[in-house]
């Protein structure tokens, strides 16, 4: 079991809070070298500013695309503010460089403990 720090931007404090209170059940990131070694049972330390907390990774899945990921996970599990596939895909497209990085590396989803 290893520990990994996943930073959350202060601008995304609401997402940090969703993870902390258990509403956000799945954290996603680009499946590049930075996150590809995280395994089931590892601990993720979520950090936003000076605040931090830990969650255990229950399951890790890597997907070639957001579409493939959405066959496994509901949009609300990834972002509780979003209730449909179209808006979740628009969210990913709004992140600078994400579309290209997902094509290159895929996307990784971490199902989290409460």
The pLDDT profile of the chain, 114 residues, written as one tens digit per residue, is: 999 999 999 999 999 999 999 999 999 999 999 998 999 999 999 999 999 999 999 999 999 999 999 999 999 999 999 989 999 999 999 988 999 999 999 999 999 997
**Residue 98, number of CB atoms within 10 A of its CB:** 16
Is the Cα torsion angle 65, 69, 70, 71 positive or negative in sign?
Answer: positive
3-state secondary structure of 48: strand
Name residues whose C-beta falls within 8 Å of residue 64's C-beta, 6 or more positions apart in sequence.
106
Task: Look up the CATH superfamily of 3-112.
Answer: Hypothetical protein. (2.30.130.30)
H helix runs in the chain, sequence order: 13-20, 66-69, 75-78, 85-94, 98-105
């Amino acid at each position: 079991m290893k520990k990994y720090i996943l930073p959350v931007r202060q601008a995304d404090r609401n997402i940090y809070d969703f993870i902390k209170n258990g509403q956000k059940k799945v954290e996603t990131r680009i499946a590049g070298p930075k996150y590809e070694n995280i395994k089931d049972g590892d601990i993720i330390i979520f950090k936003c500013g000076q605040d931090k907390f830990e969650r255990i990774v229950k399951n890790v899945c890597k997907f070639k695309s957001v579409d493939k990921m959405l066959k496994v996970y509901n949009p609300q599990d990834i972002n509780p503010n979003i209730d449909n596939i179209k808006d979740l895909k628009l969210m990913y497209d709004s992140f600078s460089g994400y579309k290209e990085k997902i094509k290159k590396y895929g996307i990784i989803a971490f199902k989290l403990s409460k």
